[in-house]
């Protein structure tokens, strides 16, 4: 797997995880905090 695809795959997997939690009526606040804290760095890699 190329380094360029890793942020895209990570983002897609996170969205699937959040969607599955919503369907179950659950939340993972610890993971959400980490995800939104790291998202600017991931987004920058996607843009560049």
pLDDT tens for 26-43 read 999 999 988 888 776 666
Q: Which residue has the higher pLDDT, 2 or 29?
A: 29
Residue 17 belongs to domain spanning? 5-47
Supply the mean pLDDT for the chain: 81
The number of domains in the chain is 1
The pTM of the whole model exceeds 0.75: no
Residues 7, 45 contacting (CB under 8 angstroms)? yes
Give the model's pLDDT for residue 7. Answer: 74
Q: How far apart are CA 28 and CA 18, in angstroms?
A: 8
Position 8 scores a pLDDT of 80
């Amino acid at each position: 797997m190329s380094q360029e695809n890793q942020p895209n795959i990570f983002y897609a997997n996170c969205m699937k995880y959040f969607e599955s939690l919503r369907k179950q009526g659950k939340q993972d606040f610890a993971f959400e905090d980490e995800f939104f804290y790291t998202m600017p760095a991931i987004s920058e890699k996607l843009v560049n």
